[in-house]
Amino acid sequence: MSPLSLLILGDGRFPSGGHAHSGGAETAIAAGRVHDAATLRDFCQGRLHTTGLVAAALAAGAATGYDPLSLDEAADARTPSPALRRVARRLGRQLMRAVRVTWPGPELDDLAAARPGGAHQPVVLGVAARMAALTPYDAAQAAAYDSVCGPVTAAIRLLGLDPFQATAVTAGLCGDMEHVASQAAGHAARLPAEGVDALPATSAPLLEITAEQHATWPVRLFAS
């Protein structure tokens, strides 16, 4: 295992399409719920402990080598909003294209063949982590970080937020991210005994609702 592989996978500059997605921040900002560093922190913390935990557990599960297609179905069941399911698959397909070049491996090829329209992004992330010889906990950290850093980057662009303050928001959530990642790895470790019922199903109803609204906006800067 190389911690550098984790840095590469988690880097916001990793070319997997994430830069065009705000993780719900665009609607939250338009509604005035997120307007400064403090409200951005609240938003990210809420997202991290709900859908972020689910994503981290899916990624950790996929990194253990557990059947990615079962995990993909479990991800569908845990994503009520059709718009968010579409986004997760689109991002999964885009991530797949990038990781098949950076860490090629048969497990990625198999998943790409079984889900040509894209598997859920956290599942692809977990399989990619496995190909990069990372641990399930690493994969969970990458997913947790991803769930925070998408909205933070979007807020920098949409609010003109001071980038130092915004990065301090991310850094301030390190403890939360580590906690979520270890919870997620714990869930993933129970997969062989309990099946996908071992995975958490925490959700953020407002994120689901606003994602449906966002998908109908005629004018928007971010794809989600």
Widest distance between CA atoms in the chain? 48
Minimum CB distance to another protein smaller for 12 or for 205? 12
**Does residue 24 sit in helix, strand or coil?**
coil
Closest CB 194 distance from another protein, rounded Å: 35
- How far is it, in rounded angstroms, from Cα 64 to Cα 189? 8
Residues 89-108 touching another protein, rule: CB under 8 A, are 90, 93-95, 97-98, 100-101
Report yes or no: 2 and 138 within 8 Å, Cβ to Cβ.
Answer: no
Minimum CB distance to another protein smaller for 193 or for 219? 219
- How far is it, in rounded angstroms, from Cα 41 to Cα 78? 24
Minimum CB distance to another protein smaller for 25 or for 59? 25
Per-residue binding letters, 54-93, with another protein (x by CB under 8 A): ------------------------------------x--x
CA distances to 20, 85, 86, 154, 222 from 219, in Å? 14, 21, 19, 16, 9
Minimum CB distance to another protein smaller for 13 or for 197? 13
The distance of Cα 66 from the centroid of its chain, to the nearest Å, equals 18
The distance of Cα 155 from the centroid of its chain, to the nearest Å, equals 17
Among 44, 127, 144, 158, binds another protein (CB under 8 A): 158
- CA triple 110-7-85, angle to 5 deg: 45
Stretch that binds another protein, among 68-76, 163-171, 174-182, 216-224 (CB under 8 A): 216-224
Positive or negative, the Cα torsion across 48, 52, 57, 60?
negative
Residue 223 makes contact with another protein by CB under 8 A = yes
CA distances to 21, 101, 141, 224 from 18, in Å? 5, 17, 17, 10
Closest CB 102 distance from another protein, rounded Å: 11
Closest CB 72 distance from another protein, rounded Å: 18
Per-residue binding letters, 1-40, with another protein (x by CB under 8 A): ------------x-xxxxxxxx------------------
Among 56, 58, 154, 173, binds another protein (CB under 8 A): 154
Binding-site ranges for another protein (CB under 8 A): 13, 15-22, 90, 93-95, 97-98, 100-101, 154, 157-158, 218-223
